[in-house]
Amino acid sequence: MPDQGINLAPLPGTEHAPRGLFIDRWGTLLDLPPAGFARGPQDLRFRPGVLDAMFRASQCGWNLYLVGNEESVAFGDVSDDDWAETEAVLLETLANYGITIRRNYVCLDHPRGRGRHRQDSVFLLPNTGAFYHAAHTDGVDIGKSWVVGDSTLELVAGWRAGLKIAAVETGLALSDEAYDVDPDLHLADLNEVLAHLCDRAADLLH
């Protein structure tokens, strides 16, 4: 009879592959500033309750990723330095709440952008590069991963890559109608989506 005090590691190949939660930034995690983009850290406003919800999600087995296009940088409305300062505050705030962001897939490029940002990118939504990069680099199981957002842009990208998609009623609340999407989950906000996915975390492994 084995010693009941010994913790046996899973046999190689029997562990569950990591699951990813790809969370849109503006309109989902953060309130969109009146100007339509953040000019600096002073414009960062987290949606009520999202920090607690994201911490809980990280504790129930989800790898957290951020996704989004920053066209304000691509088109020169915000300088690279100002954006870097804002981004540092964003990530520091998350870290201070014990929230680990596995990767930050923000895209600063656009085919009609300015200067060095005038280029296409596989990470520019609705392209699917972020999801495939996470699958290749981090071993994320695409079929058991989700993307959460307020616009059809990130949702159709997730759907194209084979992720489940969750829409929220904050931000644009799908009013952009740029793409036809049929969300697997449609709830009030990011908090409700994360609570639902955490409550079903064990079931979603199978």
Which CATH number does the domain housing residue 143 bear? 3.40.50.1000
The model carries a pTM of 0.90
Buried b (16+ CB within 10 A) or exposed e, 167-200: bbebbbebeeeeeebebeebbebbbbbbbebbee
The domain tally of the chain equals 1
Task: Please report whether residue 4 resides in a domain.
Answer: no
- How does pLDDT run across 3-21, given as a tens digit for each residue? 444 444 444 444 578 999 9
Domain that holds residue 61: 19-205
- How does pLDDT run across 151-179, given as a tens digit for each residue? 999 999 999 999 999 999 999 999 999 99
- How does pLDDT run across 91-149, given as a tens digit for each residue? 999 999 999 999 999 999 999 999 999 999 999 999 999 999 999 999 999 999 999 99
pLDDT at 51 over 80: yes
Task: Please report whether residue 48 resides in a domain.
Answer: yes
Q: Between 201 and 140, where is the model more confident?
A: 140
Which pLDDT score, from 0 to 100, does residue 201 have? Answer: 72
Region 75-90: mean pLDDT is 97
Task: Please report whether residue 144 resides in a domain.
Answer: yes
Percent of the chain's residues with pLDDT above 90: 88
Rg (the chain; Cα; Å):
18
Task: Please report whether residue 178 resides in a domain.
Answer: yes
Task: Please report whether residue 7 resides in a domain.
Answer: no
Task: Please report whether residue 12 resides in a domain.
Answer: no
Task: Please report whether residue 121 resides in a domain.
Answer: yes
- Residue 99 to residues 62, 121, 157, 194, Cα–Cα distance (Å): 11, 27, 24, 14
